[in-house]
C-alpha cells in the first residue's frame, strides 16, 4: 500500500481554497498510484479558526467541503481534518476530527482525545475530548489514526490522564498515522522528532506523521512531516517551510528502508530566519496585501526587518522611510541609505525636527519650568509613528513593526510611536538573537552595513544616547529574561544561578510594569517556546511578589 503525505499551506477560513488544494492533490496522487493521501489537522478550515467555530454557517461550510472532497475519492482514500458536530447534547458542541474517506464515502471519523489548553493552544474552549478510540481497516492494514497532541502524552510527568494509543494498540494495528498542526519554535523540531520516535519505540509499529506548513497571523507552521520505522528510527523527513507531497510504500517503511535524502540539518538561526520570512509572506498574501513600509533608522533591528521583508515580498514591494531627528548621527543615516541600496529598495527621507519643534512649541506654556525628560523623546518617536501611519493610510502600505523581544519585555518602546505596526516581525527575538540573524544574513557578503552591527545600540532620541544608559547589558539582560519568561523562574531561582539580585529585581520589575504596553502591541511572529501574546497571558493590574 502506498501512502502520500500532503504537507500543505492552508488559510484559516478559506474553506473553498483549502478544499480545492485538497482535491488537486487527490487527483495528482491518484495518478501517482497512491492508495491513501493524508492531510493535516483541521485541513479543511485551517488551524485554529478560534471563534469562527462558534458560527453555525462556518461549520456548515466545513461539512459541505467534506461532501465535495468525498466526490473526488473514487479509487483513492484520504484523511482530512475538520470540526465535527457533537451528536450528544451534553458537552462541547464540536469535536476536532479526522475524516477517513474512501470511494465517495466516509468510512470512519476519528476524534481527538487530548485537547491542548496551554500556551498558544485553547482547544478545550471549543472541542469535546474523545473517550472512545478504534482502529481503521483499509486494504488489509489496521491503522491507528490519531490527531497531533494524542501522541504527546509521554514522559515522567504526563499532562493527561489518558493516552489514546494505549487503547488503540490493544487492537494490534500495523502502523500509526498522526495528522498535526504543530507550530514552529526553535526548539520544537527536535522535541517533535523525539516524541514521535518514542511512540514508535513504545508501541513497536511504524508512524506516518503529517504536519501543515505556512503561517496564520502569529503562528508559523514549519512542516517537516516525518516517517519512522517500528524501532523509532527516522526513515523519511519532508522539507521545512515549504509545501511538499511525497508517497511512501508501507512495506518499505516496515523494512526500515531509508526513503530519499534527508534535508540538510539547519541551524536554529537559519530556521528562525526562514520562519520569519514565511511569517511575513503569508501575512501579506493571505490578507491580500502586497507592499510594506517601515522606519529605517540605521540600527540593527530595522535593518533585520527590512532584509526579511525584502526576502519575503521582493525589493520592489518594500519602501523604507528614513526619519532623522536632530539627534540622528550622520553615520546612522548613511547606514540606512546603504542598506536600502544594498537591497535594491526605493526609499525616502522625512526629517522630523520641524514637526517635533512645532509640537514642543505648542506645549511650551504647559511645560514651562519643567525639565526635559522622556516626554520629549516620546514626542520624536510618536512623530515617526504618525508619519509612518500616514504613509500607510495614503499609499496602502502595511507598516512593519521593528521592536525586538528584549525591548518589548522591559517596556523600552513608545506606545503609538515605535510600537506602531500591523505585525511585529522580530518581537519574539531577543536582542542577542537579532545580532545572530545579522551575522547569518551577512554570512556570504555585506548586506547589512558592518557599522550597523558593531556600533552601540541607541534610540538616538537625545544627545549621545545609548541603550545601556537605560538597560543592563543585553547579554546579561537576555539571559535573565529567558529564565523569567521562557523558563518561568522566580527572582530567587534566577539569583541562585549567579545573577546579581539587584539587577534581577530591576529587570523583573520592568517586565511586570510593561504589561500594559504589550497588551496593545502588534501581533508578534512566534519563534520561541514562550512568545508575548496568546502564549503568555499575564494580568495588567496585579501585584507581583515573585
Residue 265 resides in a domain? no
Q: How far apart are CA 9 and CA 241, in angstroms?
A: 9
Query: Contact at 8 Å (CB) between 413 and 302?
Result: no
Q: What is the CATH number of the domain that holds 148?
A: 3.60.110.10
- pLDDT at residue 195 tops 80: yes
Torsion of CA 287, 288, 291, 296, to 10 degrees: 0
Residue 235 resides in a domain? yes
Q: How far apart are CA 196 and CA 214, in angstroms?
A: 21
Pair 129, 61 in one domain: yes
For the stretch 504-513, pLDDT in tens is 999 999 999 9
pLDDT at site 156:
81
Pair 301, 248 in one domain: no
pLDDT at site 180:
98
For the stretch 86-107, pLDDT in tens is 999 999 999 999 999 999 999 9
Beta strand pairing call for 318-322 and 234-237: unpaired
Pair 243, 304 in one domain: no
Give the active site residue among 21, 45, 84, 112: 112
Give the active site residue among 41, 377, 460, 483: 41
- pLDDT at residue 36 tops 70: yes
For the stretch 434-485, pLDDT in tens is 999 999 999 999 999 999 999 887 766 767 777 777 788 999 999 999 999 9
Nearest to 530 by CA among 5, 154, 73, 118: 118
Pair 310, 383 in one domain: yes
Q: How far apart are CA 275 and CA 262, in angstroms?
A: 19
pLDDT at site 264:
65
Helix (H) / strand (E) element for 66: namely: helix 56-70
Cis peptide bond N-terminal to 514, omega within 30: no
- pLDDT at residue 263 tops 90: no
Domain end marker among 260, 279, 313: 260
Residue 103 resides in a domain? yes
Pair 226, 287 in one domain: no
Q: How many domains does the chain have?
A: 2
Pair 372, 249 in one domain: no
Summarize the annotated binding site for L-glutamine as residue ranges: 118, 182
Summarize the annotated binding site as residue ranges: 118, 182, 295-302, 378, 402, 407, 517
For the stretch 199-249, pLDDT in tens is 999 999 999 999 999 999 999 999 999 999 999 999 999 999 999 999 999
Domain end marker among 444, 463, 482: 463
Tell me the backbone φ, ψ of residue 373, rounded to 5 degrees.
Answer: -150, -155
Residue 504 resides in a domain? no
Beta strand pairing call for 219-222 and 226-228: unpaired
Q: How far apart are CA 311 and CA 331, in angstroms?
A: 25
The residues that bridge with 320 in the sheet, in sequence order, are 294
Nearest to 165 by CA among 180, 146, 138: 146
Structure confidence at residue 262 as a pLDDT band (50, 70, 90): low
pLDDT at site 545:
77
Q: Specify burial of residue 30 (Cβ count, 10 A radius: 0-12, 13-18, 19+).
A: middle
Q: Over the range 161-198, which residues count as b (16 or more CB within 10 Å of their CB) and which as e?
A: eebbbebbbeeebbbbbbbbbbbbbbebbeebbeebbb
And the C-alpha cell for 499?
A: 545573577
Average pLDDT over all residues of the chain: 95
pLDDT at site 455:
87
Residue 543 resides in a domain? no
* Mean pLDDT of the region 371-399: 96
Note if the pTM is more than 0.85: yes
* Mean pLDDT of the region 154-175: 94
Q: How far apart are CA 206 and CA 174, in angstroms?
A: 8
Pair 446, 375 in one domain: yes
Q: How far apart are CA 127 and CA 121, in angstroms?
A: 12
Q: How far apart are CA 249 and CA 3, in angstroms?
A: 6
CA-based end-to-end distance of the chain: 57
Q: What is the CATH number of the domain that holds 342?
A: 3.40.50.620
And the C-alpha cell for 298?
A: 540605521
Expressed as residue numbers, the domain containing 387 is 271-463
Identify the three-state secondary structure at position 234. strand
pLDDT at site 141:
97
Residue 362 resides in a domain? yes
Structure confidence at residue 8 as a pLDDT band (50, 70, 90): very high
pLDDT at site 422:
97
445-450 contacts at long range (C-beta below 8 A, 24 or more positions apart): 446/342, 447/307, 447/339, 447/342, 447/343, 448/300, 448/303, 448/304, 448/307, 448/339, 448/342, 449/303, 449/334, 449/335, 449/338, 449/339, 449/342
pLDDT at site 43:
98
Structure confidence at residue 330 as a pLDDT band (50, 70, 90): confident
* Mean pLDDT of the region 412-439: 97
Summarize the annotated binding site for ATP as residue ranges: 295-302, 402
pLDDT at site 458:
77
Percentage of residues in the chain having pLDDT higher than 70 = 98
Pair 220, 277 in one domain: no
Q: How far apart are CA 396 and CA 399, in angstroms?
A: 9
Helices (H), 204-267: 250-254
Q: How far apart are CA 149 and CA 222, in angstroms?
A: 17
And the C-alpha cell for 215?
A: 503561517
Pair 290, 175 in one domain: no
pLDDT at site 508:
95
SS3 sequence of 384-443: HHHHHHHHHHHHCCEEEECCCHHHHHHCCCCCCCCCCCCEECCCCCCHHHHHHHHHHHCC
Summarize the annotated binding site for deamido-NAD(+) as residue ranges: 378, 407, 517
Q: How far apart are CA 379 and CA 459, in angstroms?
A: 13
Pair 170, 134 in one domain: yes
Pair 168, 250 in one domain: yes
HSE-CB for 144 with a 13 A CA cutoff: 24
Residue 521 resides in a domain? no
Give the active site residue among 45, 148, 163, 420: 148
Domain end marker among 463, 493, 515: 463
Does the annotation mark 112 as catalytic?
A: yes
Task: Please name the residue that has the C-alpha cell 520624536.
Answer: 380
> In what order do the strands lie in the sheet containing 318-322?
348-349, 318-322, 292-295, 398-401, 423-424
Pair 58, 199 in one domain: yes
For the stretch 300-316, pLDDT in tens is 999 999 999 999 999 99
Residue 25 resides in a domain? yes
Q: Specify burial of residue 47 (Cβ count, 10 A radius: 0-12, 13-18, 19+).
A: buried
For the stretch 491-501, pLDDT in tens is 999 999 999 99
pLDDT at site 404:
97
Does the annotation mark 501 as catalytic?
A: no
Structure confidence at residue 28 as a pLDDT band (50, 70, 90): very high
Amino acid at each position: 500500500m502506498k501512502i502520500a503525505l500532503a504537507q500543505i499551506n492552508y488559510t484559516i477560513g478559506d474553506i473553498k481554497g483549502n478544499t480545492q488544494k485538497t482535491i488537486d492533490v487527490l487527483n495528482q496522487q491518484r495518478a501517482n498510484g497512491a492508495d491513501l493521501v493524508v492531510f493535516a489537522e483541521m485541513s479543511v478550515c485551517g488551524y485554529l479558526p478560534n471563534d469562527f467555530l462558534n458560527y453555525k454557517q462556518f461549520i456548515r461550510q466545513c461539512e459541505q467541503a467534506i461532501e465535495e472532497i468525498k466526490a473526488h475519492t473514487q479509487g483513492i482514500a484520504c484523511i482530512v481534518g475538520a470540526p465535527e458536530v457533537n451528536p450528544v447534547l451534553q458537552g462541547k458542541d464540536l469535536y476536532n476530527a479526522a475524516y477517513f474517506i474512501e470511494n465517495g464515502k466516509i468510512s470512519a471519523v476519528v476524534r481527538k482525545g487530548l485537547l491542548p489548553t496551554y500556551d498558544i493552544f485553547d482547544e478545550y474552549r471549543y472541542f469535546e475530548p474523545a473517550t472512545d478510540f478504534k482502529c481503521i481497516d483499509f486494504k488489509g492494514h489496521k491503522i491507528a489514526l490519531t490527531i497531533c497532541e494524542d501522541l504527546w502524552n509521554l514522559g515522567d510527568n504526563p499532562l493527561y490522564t489518558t493516552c489514546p494509543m494505549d487503547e488503540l494498540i490493544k487492537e494490534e494495528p500495523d502502523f500509526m498515522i498522526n495528522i498535526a498542526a504543530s507550530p514552529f519554535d526553535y526548539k520544537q523540531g527536535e522535541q517533535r522528532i523525539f516524541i514521535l520516535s518514542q511512540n514508535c519505540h513504545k508501541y513497536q509499529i511504524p508512524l506516518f506523521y503529517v504536519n501543515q506548513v505556512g503561517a496564520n497571523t502569529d503562528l508559523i507552521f514549519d512542516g517537516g512531516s516525518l516517517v519512522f520505522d517500528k524501532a523509532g528510527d527516522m526513515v523519511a523527513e519532508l522539507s521545512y517551510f515549504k509545501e511538499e507531497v511525497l508517497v511512501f510504500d508501507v512495506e518499505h517503511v516496515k523494512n526500515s528502508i531509508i526513503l530519499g535524502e534527508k534535508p540538510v540539518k539547519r541551524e536554529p538561526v537559519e530556521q528562525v530566519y526562514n520562519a520569519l520570512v514565511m511569517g511575513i509572506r503569508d501575512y501579506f498574501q493571505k490578507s491580500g496585501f502586497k507592499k510594506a513600509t517601515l522606519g529605517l533608522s540605521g540600527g540593527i533591528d530595522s535593518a533585520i526587518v527590512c532584509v526579511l521583508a525584502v526576502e519575503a515580498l521582493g525589493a520592489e514591494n518594500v519602501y523604507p522611510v528614513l526619519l532623522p531627528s536632530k539627534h540622528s548621527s550622520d553615520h546612522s543615516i548613511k547606514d540606512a541609505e546603504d542598506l536600502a541600496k544594498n537591497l535594491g529598495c526605493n526609499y525616502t527621507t522625512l526629517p522630523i525636527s520641524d514637526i517635533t519643534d512645532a509640537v514642543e512649541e505648542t506645549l511650551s506654556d504647559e511645560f514651562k519650568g519643567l525639565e526635559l525628560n522622556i516626554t520629549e523623546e516620546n514626542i520624536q518617536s510618536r512623530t515617526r509613528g504618525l508619519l509612518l501611519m500616514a504613509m500607510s493610510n495614503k499609499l496602502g502600505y502595511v507598516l512593519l513593526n521593528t521592536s525586538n523581544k528584549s525591548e518589548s519585555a522591559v517596556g523600552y518602546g513608545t506606545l503609538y510611536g515605535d510600537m506602531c505596526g500591523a505585525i511585529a516581525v522580530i518581537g519574539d527575538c531577543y536582542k542577542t538573537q537579532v545580532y545572530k540573524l545579522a551575522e547569518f544574513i551577512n554570512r556570504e557578503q555585506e548586506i547589512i552595513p558592518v557599522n550597523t552591527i558593531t556600533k552601540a545600540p541607541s534610540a538616538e532620541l537625545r544627545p549621545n544616547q545609548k541603550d545601556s544608559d537605560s538597560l543592563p547589558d543585553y547579554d546579561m539582560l537576555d539571559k535573565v529574561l529567558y529564565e523569567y519568561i521562557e523558563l518561568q523562574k522566580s527572582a530567587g531561582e534566577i539569583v541562585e544561578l549567579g545573577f546579581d539580585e539587584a539587577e534581577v529585581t530591576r529587570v523583573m520589575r520592568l517586565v511586570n510594569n510593561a504589561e500594559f504596553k504589550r497588551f496593545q502591541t502588534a501581533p508578534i511572529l512566534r519563534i520561541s517556546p514562550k512568545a508575548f501574546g496568546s502564549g503568555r497571558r499575564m494580568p495588567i493590574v496585579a501585584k507581583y511578589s515573585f
